Amino acid sequence: MSQEAPGRVAVVTGGASGIGLGVVRHLRAAGHQVAALDLQDDALAAAAADLDVLTAQVDVSDRTAVDAAMDRVRSELGPISIIVTSAGIDGNKPFAEISADDWERTLRVNLTGTFNAVQSAVPDLVAGGWGRIITISSSSAQQGAGNRAHYIASKGGVIALTKALSYEYAPLGITANTIPPSIIDTPMSRDSPEMGAHLDAVAGMTPVRRLGTPDDIGAAAAFLASDAAGFITGQQINVNGGWYM
Protein backbone atom coordinates (compact mmCIF):
# COMPACT_ATOMS: atom_id res chain seq x y z
CA MET A 1 0.00 0.00 0.00
CA SER A 2 1.48 3.37 -0.95
CA GLN A 3 1.35 6.18 1.60
CA GLU A 4 -0.52 9.36 0.64
CA ALA A 5 1.94 12.26 0.37
CA PRO A 6 0.67 14.80 2.91
CA GLY A 7 0.14 18.47 2.37
CA ARG A 8 0.07 18.97 -1.36
CA VAL A 9 -0.99 22.40 -2.61
CA ALA A 10 -4.43 22.61 -4.19
CA VAL A 11 -6.23 25.48 -5.90
CA VAL A 12 -10.03 25.46 -6.09
CA THR A 13 -11.81 28.02 -8.26
CA GLY A 14 -15.30 28.88 -7.04
CA GLY A 15 -14.02 27.73 -3.66
CA ALA A 16 -16.08 30.17 -1.58
CA SER A 17 -19.50 28.65 -2.24
CA GLY A 18 -21.47 25.51 -2.92
CA ILE A 19 -19.62 22.68 -4.65
CA GLY A 20 -16.26 24.46 -4.62
CA LEU A 21 -16.51 25.03 -0.88
CA GLY A 22 -17.35 21.35 -0.41
CA VAL A 23 -14.22 20.46 -2.37
CA VAL A 24 -12.14 22.83 -0.24
CA ARG A 25 -13.45 21.17 2.94
CA HIS A 26 -12.59 17.68 1.73
CA LEU A 27 -9.13 18.62 0.43
CA ARG A 28 -8.36 20.28 3.78
CA ALA A 29 -9.59 17.16 5.60
CA ALA A 30 -7.22 15.10 3.42
CA GLY A 31 -4.32 17.21 4.68
CA HIS A 32 -3.73 19.44 1.67
CA GLN A 33 -3.00 23.15 1.74
CA VAL A 34 -5.72 24.89 -0.22
CA ALA A 35 -6.20 28.19 -1.99
CA ALA A 36 -9.76 29.23 -2.81
CA LEU A 37 -10.27 31.60 -5.76
CA ASP A 38 -13.68 33.22 -6.15
CA LEU A 39 -15.55 36.42 -6.93
CA GLN A 40 -17.26 36.52 -3.53
CA ASP A 41 -15.13 38.43 -1.07
CA ASP A 42 -17.22 37.91 2.09
CA ALA A 43 -17.65 34.21 1.45
CA LEU A 44 -13.91 33.90 0.85
CA ALA A 45 -13.25 35.59 4.19
CA ALA A 46 -15.58 33.14 5.93
CA ALA A 47 -13.84 30.18 4.26
CA ALA A 48 -10.44 31.52 5.26
CA ALA A 49 -11.55 31.85 8.89
CA ASP A 50 -13.28 28.47 9.11
CA LEU A 51 -10.93 26.32 7.06
CA ASP A 52 -7.56 28.06 7.20
CA VAL A 53 -7.21 28.46 3.45
CA LEU A 54 -5.48 31.06 1.32
CA THR A 55 -8.04 33.14 -0.54
CA ALA A 56 -7.93 35.38 -3.57
CA GLN A 57 -10.76 37.39 -5.06
CA VAL A 58 -10.45 36.63 -8.77
CA ASP A 59 -12.59 36.61 -11.88
CA VAL A 60 -11.55 33.38 -13.61
CA SER A 61 -12.31 34.90 -17.00
CA ASP A 62 -9.56 37.48 -16.40
CA ARG A 63 -6.33 35.72 -17.32
CA THR A 64 -4.06 38.37 -15.85
CA ALA A 65 -5.85 38.13 -12.50
CA VAL A 66 -5.75 34.32 -12.56
CA ASP A 67 -2.00 34.31 -13.27
CA ALA A 68 -1.41 36.79 -10.43
CA ALA A 69 -3.43 34.62 -8.01
CA MET A 70 -1.50 31.47 -8.99
CA ASP A 71 1.78 33.32 -8.44
CA ARG A 72 0.58 34.30 -4.96
CA VAL A 73 -0.32 30.69 -4.22
CA ARG A 74 3.16 29.56 -5.33
CA SER A 75 4.94 32.14 -3.22
CA GLU A 76 2.80 31.62 -0.08
CA LEU A 77 2.08 27.87 -0.20
CA GLY A 78 4.51 26.39 -2.74
CA PRO A 79 4.14 24.66 -6.12
CA ILE A 80 0.61 23.69 -7.10
CA SER A 81 -0.17 19.97 -7.53
CA ILE A 82 -3.98 19.91 -7.65
CA ILE A 83 -6.28 22.22 -9.60
CA VAL A 84 -10.06 21.98 -9.25
CA THR A 85 -12.29 24.24 -11.36
CA SER A 86 -15.73 24.87 -9.90
CA ALA A 87 -16.27 28.58 -10.62
CA GLY A 88 -19.23 28.91 -12.93
CA ILE A 89 -22.43 30.69 -13.75
CA ASP A 90 -25.85 29.28 -14.58
CA GLY A 91 -28.00 30.07 -17.58
CA ASN A 92 -31.75 29.68 -18.00
CA LYS A 93 -33.27 30.90 -21.27
CA PRO A 94 -34.94 29.34 -24.28
CA PHE A 95 -32.46 28.97 -27.11
CA ALA A 96 -34.17 31.64 -29.24
CA GLU A 97 -33.76 34.23 -26.45
CA ILE A 98 -30.07 33.67 -25.73
CA SER A 99 -28.29 36.88 -26.73
CA ALA A 100 -24.79 37.02 -28.14
CA ASP A 101 -23.75 38.58 -24.81
CA ASP A 102 -25.35 35.73 -22.79
CA TRP A 103 -23.57 33.21 -24.99
CA GLU A 104 -20.20 34.94 -24.84
CA ARG A 105 -20.30 35.58 -21.07
CA THR A 106 -21.31 31.99 -20.23
CA LEU A 107 -18.56 30.53 -22.42
CA ARG A 108 -16.06 33.07 -21.06
CA VAL A 109 -16.67 32.19 -17.40
CA ASN A 110 -17.43 28.47 -17.58
CA LEU A 111 -15.13 27.30 -20.38
CA THR A 112 -12.45 29.97 -20.81
CA GLY A 113 -12.32 30.33 -17.01
CA THR A 114 -11.54 26.61 -16.77
CA PHE A 115 -8.89 26.95 -19.49
CA ASN A 116 -7.33 29.94 -17.71
CA ALA A 117 -7.10 28.26 -14.32
CA VAL A 118 -5.74 24.96 -15.61
CA GLN A 119 -3.25 26.48 -18.05
CA SER A 120 -1.99 28.89 -15.41
CA ALA A 121 -1.44 26.14 -12.81
CA VAL A 122 -0.25 23.28 -15.01
CA PRO A 123 3.46 24.22 -15.30
CA ASP A 124 3.79 23.41 -11.58
CA LEU A 125 2.13 20.02 -12.05
CA VAL A 126 4.48 19.24 -14.92
CA ALA A 127 7.56 20.37 -12.99
CA GLY A 128 6.53 18.22 -10.03
CA GLY A 129 5.93 15.14 -12.19
CA TRP A 130 2.62 14.59 -10.39
CA GLY A 131 -0.69 16.35 -10.71
CA ARG A 132 -4.45 16.24 -10.60
CA ILE A 133 -6.78 18.26 -12.83
CA ILE A 134 -10.41 17.99 -11.73
CA THR A 135 -13.09 19.97 -13.54
CA ILE A 136 -16.71 20.41 -12.53
CA SER A 137 -18.93 20.05 -15.59
CA SER A 138 -22.61 19.09 -15.51
CA SER A 139 -24.79 16.06 -16.16
CA SER A 140 -26.90 18.39 -18.34
CA ALA A 141 -24.07 18.28 -20.88
CA GLN A 142 -24.22 14.49 -20.93
CA GLN A 143 -28.00 14.26 -21.28
CA GLY A 144 -29.14 17.59 -22.74
CA ALA A 145 -31.89 19.74 -21.22
CA GLY A 146 -34.18 22.54 -22.34
CA ASN A 147 -33.67 26.27 -21.90
CA ARG A 148 -29.96 26.21 -21.12
CA ALA A 149 -28.16 25.72 -24.43
CA HIS A 150 -25.42 28.25 -23.62
CA TYR A 151 -24.76 26.70 -20.20
CA ILE A 152 -24.84 23.16 -21.58
CA ALA A 153 -22.53 24.05 -24.49
CA SER A 154 -20.04 25.56 -22.03
CA LYS A 155 -20.12 22.43 -19.86
CA GLY A 156 -19.82 20.15 -22.87
CA GLY A 157 -16.70 22.12 -23.68
CA VAL A 158 -15.40 21.50 -20.16
CA ILE A 159 -15.91 17.73 -20.60
CA ALA A 160 -14.12 17.74 -23.97
CA LEU A 161 -11.29 19.95 -22.66
CA THR A 162 -10.76 17.56 -19.74
CA LYS A 163 -10.56 14.56 -22.07
CA ALA A 164 -8.04 16.37 -24.27
CA LEU A 165 -5.89 17.22 -21.24
CA SER A 166 -5.98 13.64 -20.02
CA TYR A 167 -4.23 12.44 -23.18
CA GLU A 168 -1.67 15.22 -23.22
CA TYR A 169 -0.66 15.03 -19.56
CA ALA A 170 -1.06 11.37 -18.55
CA PRO A 171 2.52 10.51 -19.61
CA LEU A 172 3.73 13.27 -17.27
CA GLY A 173 2.09 11.84 -14.15
CA ILE A 174 -0.95 14.11 -14.30
CA THR A 175 -4.52 12.86 -14.39
CA ALA A 176 -7.46 14.90 -15.69
CA ASN A 177 -11.03 13.97 -14.83
CA THR A 178 -14.36 15.75 -14.75
CA ILE A 179 -17.21 15.44 -12.28
CA PRO A 180 -20.56 16.17 -13.99
CA PRO A 181 -22.99 16.63 -11.07
CA SER A 182 -26.76 16.40 -11.34
CA ILE A 183 -28.74 18.78 -9.09
CA ILE A 184 -26.70 19.66 -6.02
CA ASP A 185 -28.15 21.69 -3.16
CA THR A 186 -26.19 24.96 -3.48
CA PRO A 187 -26.96 28.67 -3.81
CA MET A 188 -26.84 28.23 -7.62
CA SER A 189 -29.57 25.58 -7.74
CA ARG A 190 -31.70 27.32 -5.06
CA ASP A 191 -31.52 30.58 -7.09
CA SER A 192 -32.33 28.86 -10.39
CA PRO A 193 -35.59 30.17 -11.87
CA GLU A 194 -36.25 26.74 -13.37
CA MET A 195 -35.12 24.48 -10.52
CA GLY A 196 -35.20 26.52 -7.32
CA ALA A 197 -38.89 25.99 -6.56
CA HIS A 198 -38.80 22.30 -7.50
CA LEU A 199 -35.86 20.94 -5.55
CA ASP A 200 -38.07 18.72 -3.35
CA ALA A 201 -39.60 17.20 -6.49
CA VAL A 202 -36.13 16.67 -7.96
CA ALA A 203 -35.08 14.91 -4.76
CA GLY A 204 -38.14 12.65 -5.02
CA MET A 205 -37.35 11.70 -8.64
CA THR A 206 -33.69 10.98 -7.91
CA PRO A 207 -33.08 7.25 -7.42
CA VAL A 208 -31.30 7.83 -4.08
CA ARG A 209 -34.29 10.03 -3.04
CA ARG A 210 -32.34 13.11 -2.05
CA LEU A 211 -30.50 16.03 -3.60
CA GLY A 212 -26.76 15.87 -3.92
CA THR A 213 -24.68 17.93 -1.52
CA PRO A 214 -21.39 19.79 -1.89
CA ASP A 215 -19.91 17.10 0.36
CA ASP A 216 -20.89 14.39 -2.16
CA ILE A 217 -18.85 16.19 -4.80
CA GLY A 218 -16.07 17.14 -2.39
CA ALA A 219 -15.56 13.52 -1.35
CA ALA A 220 -15.29 12.39 -4.98
CA ALA A 221 -12.88 15.21 -5.80
CA ALA A 222 -10.68 14.39 -2.80
CA PHE A 223 -10.51 10.79 -3.97
CA LEU A 224 -9.60 11.83 -7.52
CA ALA A 225 -6.90 14.07 -6.01
CA SER A 226 -5.37 11.19 -4.06
CA ASP A 227 -2.51 8.87 -4.98
CA ALA A 228 -5.02 6.02 -5.01
CA ALA A 229 -6.72 7.50 -8.09
CA GLY A 230 -3.59 7.55 -10.23
CA PHE A 231 -4.93 5.07 -12.83
CA ILE A 232 -8.14 7.06 -13.39
CA THR A 233 -7.87 9.65 -16.14
CA GLY A 234 -10.00 11.06 -18.94
CA GLN A 235 -13.15 9.99 -17.10
CA GLN A 236 -16.51 11.52 -16.36
CA ILE A 237 -17.05 10.55 -12.73
CA ASN A 238 -20.81 10.71 -12.40
CA VAL A 239 -21.86 11.88 -8.93
CA ASN A 240 -25.58 12.20 -9.51
CA GLY A 241 -27.57 9.88 -7.24
CA GLY A 242 -28.40 7.81 -10.32
CA TRP A 243 -30.20 10.67 -12.10
CA TYR A 244 -29.14 12.57 -15.21
CA MET A 245 -30.47 16.08 -15.76
* Cβ–Cβ < 8 Å for 224, 175: yes
Question: 37 pairs with which residues across the strands?
Answer: 13, 56
Residues that are catalytic: 151
Q: Which stretch binds ligand NAP (CB under 6 A): 85-93, 124-132, 167-175, 229-237?
A: 85-93
User: Residue from 81, 138, 166, 177 that binds ligand NAP (CB under 6 A)?
Assistant: 138
Does the protein bind ligand NAP through residue 40 (CB under 6 A)? yes
- By CB under 6 A, the residues from 86 to 105 that bind ligand NAP are 86-89
Does the protein bind ligand NAP through residue 133 (CB under 6 A)? no
Q: Which stretch binds ligand NAP (CB under 6 A): 53-61, 117-125, 160-168, 225-233?
A: 53-61
Quote the least distance from Cβ 7 to ligand NAP, whole Å: 25
Q: How many CA atoms lie within 13 A of 171 on its CB side?
A: 3
Does the protein bind ligand NAP through residue 38 (CB under 6 A)? yes
Q: Binding residues for ligand NAP, how many (CB under 6 A)?
A: 30
Using the minimum distance from each CB to ligand NAP, give the nearer residue, 33 or 192.
192
Quote the least distance from Cβ 46 to ligand NAP, whole Å: 11
CA distances (Å), 179 to each of 55, 88, 208, 235, in order? 23, 14, 18, 8
Q: Which residues are CB-contacts of 79 (< 8 A; sequence separation ≥ 6)?
A: 9, 124, 127, 128
How far, in Å, CA of 28 to CA of 11, rounded? 11
CB atoms inside a 10 Å sphere around CB 33: 22
| Phi-psi region at 7: left, alpha or beta (left = phi > 0; alpha = psi -120 to 50) | left
Contacting residues toward ligand NAP, per CB under 6 A: 13-14, 16-20, 38-40, 43, 58-61, 86-89, 109, 113, 136, 138, 181, 183-184, 186-189
